[in-house]
């Protein structure tokens, strides 16, 4: 993944992040239930065209880093009754994440 | 603007039990699938546009349409939006196909 192809990754595996609590109209790949939640970067998946732009036939460049982010189920779902150590992984683009 | 939640973005909402089932695809469904593959390979549309136009369906239509009905609706919308086909052209072709179907009965 050449740097020239996209935006430089801002996070590394193990970094704590918060998902932006934003609710715009349009094609958004960040699930509603995970917005505003706190997690940890599990891995960098690569860099991809921004789907929010591609959905409107625009170029979607520069490519956005995409991460797999790990969340504790009990933090995502307040009424979660499973193992307190259970986690859920969600793939989220960098522009939806901020340092936590 | 109030917090927007798309009709498709249903993760975490009450939905009852999932009933898994296997089914064969009809020929037209396979054709719709192939159509999207061809259109994306030729750079005439993206899967993101497919998703956007599906997500733009009204709640009633979203719930009532089958999986590939949503796809063909969305592919058609995208091709109109991009100017690849016109509404006039579409209407005429659909009428032609209808006549062909009616004639075959």
Instruction: Judge whether A51 is closer than 8 Å to chain B, CB to CB.
Output: yes
Task: Answer whether residue A92 shows pLDDT above 60.
Answer: yes
Contacts of B57 in chain A (CB under 8 A): none
Question: What was the pLDDT predicted at A2?
Answer: 47
Question: What was the pLDDT predicted at B101?
Answer: 84
Question: What was the pLDDT predicted at A1?
Answer: 46
**What number is the average pLDDT over the span A37-65?**
97
Distance from CA of A46 to the nearest CA of B (A): 18
> Is residue B4 assigned to a domain?
no
Cβ proximity of A55 and B52 under 8 Å = yes
Cβ proximity of A93 and A99 under 8 Å = no
Question: What was the pLDDT predicted at B104?
Answer: 59
Average pLDDT, chain A: 94
Number of structural domains chain B divides into: 1
**pLDDT > 70 fraction of chain A, expressed in percent and rounded:** 95
Question: What was the pLDDT predicted at A81?
Answer: 95
Question: What was the pLDDT predicted at B59?
Answer: 87
Q: Verify whether the Cβ–Cβ distance B51 to A51 is below 8 Å.
A: yes
> Is residue B13 assigned to a domain?
no
> Is residue B79 assigned to a domain?
yes
Hey, what domains does chain A have and what are their CATH numbers?
A: 3-99 (2.30.30.50)
Question: What was the pLDDT predicted at B102?
Answer: 84
Question: Which of B1, B3, B12, B48 to mutate against chain A (most A CBs within 10 Å)?
Answer: B48
Q: Verify whether the Cβ–Cβ distance B48 to A24 is below 8 Å.
A: no
Contacts of A80 in chain B (CB under 8 A): none
Q: Verify whether the Cβ–Cβ distance A32 to B9 is below 8 Å.
A: yes
Domain that holds residue B78: 27-103
A-B contacts (CB, under 8 Å):
43
Question: What was the pLDDT predicted at B105?
Answer: 56
Task: Answer whether residue A10 shows pLDDT above 80.
Answer: yes
Give the confidence band of A3 by pLDDT, cuts at 50, 70, 90: very low
Q: State how beta strands A38-48 and A64-72 pair.
A: antiparallel
Residue B49: closest C-alpha in chain A: A55
Contacts of B54 in chain A (CB under 8 A): none
Lowest-confidence range among A2-11, A16-25, B44-53?
A: A2-11
User: CA A94, A63, A68, A36: dihedral to nearest 10 degrees?
Assistant: 30
Instruction: Judge whether A63 is closer than 8 Å to chain B, CB to CB.
Output: no
Q: Is A14 left (phi over 0), alpha (psi -120 to 50) or beta?
A: left
Contacts of B55 in chain A (CB under 8 A): 27
**What number is the average pLDDT over the span A80-85?**
96
Cβ proximity of A56 and A28 under 8 Å = no
**What CATH number did the domain enclosing B95 receive?**
1.10.472.20
> Which residues in chain B land under pLDDT 50?
none
């Amino acid at each position: 993944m050449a740097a020239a192809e996209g935006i430089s990754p801002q996070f590394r595996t193990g970094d704590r992040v918060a998902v932006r609590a934003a609710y715009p109209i349009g094609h958004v790949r960040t699930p509603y239930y995970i917005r505003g939640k706190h997690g940890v970067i599990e891995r960098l998946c690569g860099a991809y065209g921004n789907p929010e732009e591609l959905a409107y036939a625009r170029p979607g460049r520069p490519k956005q880093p995409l991460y797999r982010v790990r969340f504790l189920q009990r933090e995502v779902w307040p009424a979660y009754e499973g193992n307190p150590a259970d986690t859920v992984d969600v793939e989220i683009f960098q522009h939806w994440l901020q340092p936590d | 603007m109030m917090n927007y939640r798309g009709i498709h973005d249903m993760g975490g909402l009450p939905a009852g039990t999932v009933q898994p089932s296997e089914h064969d695809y009809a020929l037209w469904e396979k054709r719709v699938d192939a159509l999207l593959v061809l259109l994306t390979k030729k750079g005439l549309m993206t899967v993101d546009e497919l998703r956007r136009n599906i997500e733009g369906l009204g709640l009633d239509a979203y719930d009532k349409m089958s999986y590939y009905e949503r796809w063909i609706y969305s592919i058609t919308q995208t091709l109109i939006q991009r100017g690849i086909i016109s509404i006039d052209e579409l209407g005429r072709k659909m009428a032609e196909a209808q006549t062909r179907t009616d004639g075959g009965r």
